[in-house]
Amino acid sequence: MKKTLFLLFLATACITTMAQDTSWKKEYRETVPRINDLVHTKLDVKFDYENSYLNGKAWITLKPHFYKTDSLTLDAKGMGIHKVAMMNGAAMKDLKYEYDGWLLRINLGKNYKGGESYTIYIDYTAKPNEVKVKGSAAISDAKGLYFINPKGEEKDKPTQIWTQGETEASSVWFPTIDKPNQRTTQEIYMTVPAKYVTLSNGKLMTQKKNADGTRTDYWKMDLPHAPYLFFMGVGDFSIIKDSYKGKEVSYYVDKEYASVARKIFGNTPEMIAFFSKITGVDYPWVKYAQITGHDYVSGAMENTTATLHSDAAQQTARELVDGNFWESTIAHELFHQWFGDYVTTESWSNITLNESFANYSEVLWAEYKYGKDAGDDQNYGDMQGYLFSNSGKKDLVRFYYNDKEDVFDAVSYNKGGRILHMLRNYIGDSAFFKALNVYLATNKFKAAEAHQLRLAFEEVTGKDLNWYWNQWYFGAGHPSLDINYSYDNATKKARVIVKQTQAGDKVFKLPVAVDVYNGANKIRYTVWAKSKIDTFDFNTDRKPDLINFDGDKILLATKKENKTLDEYIHQYKYAGTYLDRREAIEAAAEQQDDPKAVELLNSALKDKYSGLRNLAMGSLNMSDDKVKAVVEKNIFDIAKNDSKPVVRAAAISYLNSYNNPENKDIFIKAINDSSYSVSGNALIALSEVDVPAAIAEMKELSKEPAKGVLANALKEVEALIDPDKSFDEMTTEYEALPLSQEKFQMTGTYTKLIGYIDNTGKVKSGVDLIVKFRDAIPAAFRSQTDPFINKALRDVMTKKLRSIQAGGNKEEITKQIEYIKSKLPEAERKGF
């Protein structure tokens, strides 16, 4: 499963306000005992769109796991149970049962021996919208079965049905043992209005038209999988078909996205081939379908052979010009088909066995398809996601949690992925991928816990890896390193002192590469940091140009280093990984008074990796005329010629810092670019030099549908027709929004509008609202959100300064600038 940023934001916002019941901290979450095992599940379901009900018949084959038993408990949430019987050939014998709305306790009538199979028949009605957790309110986020616009009352929204099982919500729509350590083969007969298509796990065997205008589709899954991976989708979809080694690969999208489905999902066959190759396990299932669902409650879900994506995956051809932002999610869910579906976590405590691999597959795919920089960029982003999540106290394998949903977090995903990345570096690529193969082959069609992963790695490498698992899987936190470099001329020794400064007693054991550079020459040493303070000496005839601790830049750690600017310049040039260059750019960004730092940033504007070109551009202090002069030629060149639209778009935003009459021509030309970000940024840039021209362009562009950056830009420029009226309207709207991703997204537009308001009282009240929002964001997010909001406020000040230059009311505008300045941290006030 993959959650969206929006959900993560909300989740964290909720946690901070939750009541402090901590009794869960003492409750060890053991793996659920297996008394009866699922063997086969056969369902016959019909949908009641009027009531959002499912009328179902279930034939469930089970067998006692080992010990004999005369009873069976099934999860069956919020259902109406009409009949429970034992099958005996075609005959049925009614069984006694108790049902409390949550668990169905069945008396089997006699003892069954371990391994002796039996089949239960249940006639039931699933009522997903009425499910209640024992006496509390109806639940909204674990309905299992979702009817979207079932009566067609919502305009512009299709009628759909989709299911979401993880964690234990499949048992809302069929009775089962809803635990990840169960597996069952499956058959589903789905009767639906004939105008719709269906999707489920496995293979579509037959389709039969019925006299009442419905059709019954029969889906069959011959290989066993866990109940939470069951899926049904029903709706008016276009199905676009690809293939992999003769197996069907298909994409179910809304009709209007049929022509772009391959642009969004078309790399899937190549991904399947790549993941098959690196795992040494050819794609194990009969087909692979991906479907998009409206109002989906998560980001995406890896149902076996039938992944469900949020409709956010559906992007238009123009949106895709800026890049397919959903591609990493496509990789994530696909890799789950091996890690999660083929081998499954035995308990939610071990969820990282599913999620760390899915998360890390995003790095593996980016590295394979787009090069090492792209892989490293993904890895870095995910590491930051963990470091900012403020979850240093949570174990990766989590036996204590409040709610099972809590383990779907930046530790199980992001940290888990980074731990795999370090392990790969430590034992080498061939051992790493061989170990994945051994783990999959040994545990296929079974549930596993973290020790099984360790055993596979130990088998392949011949190394005892308990230390690694104890430190990273069964422990919490990450190292904070303080790294000091020095050189002693007398002894000709270079020295590295590494202090572990994280709070608490835990000391990490870290195998680390240290590279000693003289010119382009590099000598690599491998050392082990394993104490609170470690000192490493290296013989070298002269002071090295650079000593690079963590030479492969793989450590999951926060680092503080005493490198000089010259050393960083050397690092940018010669060390050369994505993170080496990134660190150098970040160091130079802090020292823009030094011409050498500006020179580094200027050359980074031409970095071979677009993400770093963007980073360098975003770091420039454009309020410094010396900086502006140095980078001018490159900014112009990038705005016109960069191969990546998003980089071109960023450069266009910077052009306005220069009073160059050529600008306007570039903007007007760029406004018609196929990229939404180029077009949108150009429109905004034009509005800053010529409002009437921008309004005219906006009116022209508004004739076509727009999304993303351009859609926002159109709104922004439209607001300039009557800034005061727009400001008043937006103030009401902004003030009413709760703390949310939506409010964050609106902040940029709202702040910008303040730049066009003359009335000082209004300016102040608008700034107050923004600052109030900025300061209310949970601490864990502020290092990500503050820079954005503070920059927007600085942009207003720049705009105001220009108004003075253009003959505006100097006295009033100065008051406004001073007011905004007072709301910024000291470092952000520079240049005003």
- Minimum separation from the CB atom of position 218 to Zn ion (A): 29
Tokens at residue 573, please? Answer: 């040039």
* Phi, psi dihedral angles at 755 (to 5 degrees): -60, -20
β-pairing, 287-293 with 247-254? Answer: parallel
User: Among residues 331 and 358, whose Cβ is nearest to Zn ion?
Assistant: 358
Residue whose C-alpha is closest to residue 67's, from 109, 112, 117 = 112
- Minimum separation from the CB atom of position 356 to Zn ion (A): 9
CA–CA gap between residue 125 and residue 136 (Å, rounded) = 21
Place of tokens 């087909």: 287
Question: With binding defined as CB under 5 A, does residue 281 bind Zn ion?
Answer: no
- Minimum separation from the CB atom of position 313 to Zn ion (A): 15
- Minimum separation from the CB atom of position 188 to Zn ion (A): 24
User: Among residues 316 and 359, whose Cβ is nearest to Zn ion?
Assistant: 359
User: Among residues 1 and 710, whose Cβ is nearest to Zn ion?
Assistant: 1
CA–CA gap between residue 285 and residue 692 (Å, rounded) = 59
- Minimum separation from the CB atom of position 777 to Zn ion (A): 26
Taking CA atoms, 303 is separated from 160, 167, 224, 230, 424, in Å, by: 17, 12, 13, 6, 28
- Minimum separation from the CB atom of position 345 to Zn ion (A): 11
User: Among residues 1 and 13, whose Cβ is nearest to Zn ion?
Assistant: 1
Residues in 96-155 that interact with Zn ion by CB under 5 A = none
The secondary element (H helix, E strand) that includes residue 220 is: strand 214-225
Task: Please state, as a whole number, how many other Cβ atoms lie within 10 Å of the Cβ of residue 506.
Answer: 13
Q: What share of the chain is helix, strand, coil (3-state, %, to 5)?
A: 45, 25, 30
Cβ(656)–Cβ(685) under 8 Å?
yes
- Minimum separation from the CB atom of position 610 to Zn ion (A): 27
Instruction: Give the list of residues 6+ apart from residue 671 with CB closer than 8 angstroms, or none.
Output: 679, 682, 683, 686, 697, 701
- Minimum separation from the CB atom of position 71 to Zn ion (A): 35
User: Among residues 330 and 655, whose Cβ is nearest to Zn ion?
Assistant: 330
User: Among residues 355 and 449, whose Cβ is nearest to Zn ion?
Assistant: 355
- Minimum separation from the CB atom of position 744 to Zn ion (A): 24
- Minimum separation from the CB atom of position 409 to Zn ion (A): 12
The secondary element (H helix, E strand) that includes residue 78 is: none
Cβ(32)–Cβ(181) under 8 Å?
yes
Question: With binding defined as CB under 5 A, does residue 411 bind Zn ion?
Answer: no
* Interior angle at CA 157, CA 156 and CA 160, nearest 5: 155
User: Among residues 97 and 335, whose Cβ is nearest to Zn ion?
Assistant: 335
- Minimum separation from the CB atom of position 297 to Zn ion (A): 14
* Interior angle at CA 636, CA 631 and CA 640, nearest 5: 145
- Minimum separation from the CB atom of position 349 to Zn ion (A): 16
Residue whose C-alpha is closest to residue 254's, from 269, 274, 239, 233 = 239
User: Among residues 382 and 515, whose Cβ is nearest to Zn ion?
Assistant: 382
Taking CA atoms, 539 is separated from 73, 128, 487, 594, in Å, by: 69, 70, 10, 32
Of 2-10, 556-564, 739-747, 822-830, the segment contacting Zn ion by CB under 5 A is 2-10
User: Among residues 364 and 546, whose Cβ is nearest to Zn ion?
Assistant: 364
Question: With binding defined as CB under 5 A, does residue 301 bind Zn ion?
Answer: no
Tokens at residue 191, please? Answer: 């009767």
CA–CA gap between residue 173 and residue 143 (Å, rounded) = 9
CA–CA gap between residue 424 and residue 552 (Å, rounded) = 12
Residue with smallest beta-carbon separation from Zn ion: 358
**Site residue total, Zn ion (CB under 5 A):** 4
User: Among residues 348 and 636, whose Cβ is nearest to Zn ion?
Assistant: 348
Question: With binding defined as CB under 5 A, does residue 1 bind Zn ion?
Answer: yes
Of 14-22, 25-33, 178-186, 358-366, the segment contacting Zn ion by CB under 5 A is 358-366
What one-character-per-residue DSSP string does 496-549 give? EEEEE--SSS----EEEEEEEEETTEEEEEEEEE-SSEEEEEEE-SS--SEEEE
Residues in 338-357 that interact with Zn ion by CB under 5 A = 355
User: Among residues 389 and 675, whose Cβ is nearest to Zn ion?
Assistant: 389
- Minimum separation from the CB atom of position 167 to Zn ion (A): 12
Question: With binding defined as CB under 5 A, does residue 422 bind Zn ion?
Answer: no
Question: With binding defined as CB under 5 A, does residue 226 bind Zn ion?
Answer: no
User: Among residues 287 and 332, whose Cβ is nearest to Zn ion?
Assistant: 332
User: Among residues 2 and 294, whose Cβ is nearest to Zn ion?
Assistant: 2
Q: What is the dihedral of CA 464, 470, 474, 479, to 10 degrees?
A: -130
Taking CA atoms, 797 is separated from 305, 624, 653, 657, 767, in Å, by: 54, 15, 16, 13, 11
Question: With binding defined as CB under 5 A, does residue 358 bind Zn ion?
Answer: yes
**Which residues would be at the binding site for Zn ion (CB under 5 A)?**
1-2, 355, 358
